[in-house]
Amino acid sequence: MRKRRIEQLRRRLERREAEIRENLRTKEEEYREVSQETHAEAMDEAQVQSDSFTRDVMQVHGDRQLTSIQAALQRIREERYGLCVACGGRIDEGRLNARPEAALCIACERRNEKR
C-alpha cells in the first residue's frame, strides 16, 4: 500500500480515536449530572440505573474500539500496517478503507468468526 494512502488512513484513525474519547467523556459527564440529582423519584432512580448500565456497555464498546485503533496506529508506526496479524498476508485495501483498524484479512476474520 502506498505511503500516502497509509497516511490518510492514519489520520482517519486518529480522528476516530479523538471522537470516541470525546463521546465517552461527554457520556460520563452526562451520567454524573443525572446521578447527582438528589431529588430523584422512584421512576427517576430506575432511569439512573438504566443509564448506568447503558454507560457501562458504551464504555466497554468504546474501550474495545480504542484498543483496535491504537493497535492499528502501532502497526503503522512499525510499518506492519495492512498485514494480517494472524497469517501475515496482505489485508485487502477495500477492507482497510471500510475498517482502517482491521487487523485480520477476510479469510482469517471468517475463521475467527466460526470459532
Q: Is 111 inside a domain boundary?
A: no
pLDDT, one tens digit per residue, over 65-84 is 999 999 999 999 999 999 99
Q: What is the pLDDT of residue 96?
A: 97
Please give the tally of structural domains in the chain.
Answer: 1
Distances (CA, A) of 12 to 2, 7, 21, 43: 16, 9, 14, 42
Q: Is 106 inside a domain boundary?
A: no
Task: Indicate whether this model's pTM tops 0.75.
Answer: yes
Judged against a pLDDT cut of 60, whether residue 40 lies above it is answered with: no
Judged against a pLDDT cut of 70, whether residue 35 lies above it is answered with: no
Q: What is the pLDDT of residue 36?
A: 63
Q: What is the pLDDT of residue 54?
A: 77
- Range of the structural domain that residue 27 is part of: 3-82
Q: Is 51 inside a domain boundary?
A: yes
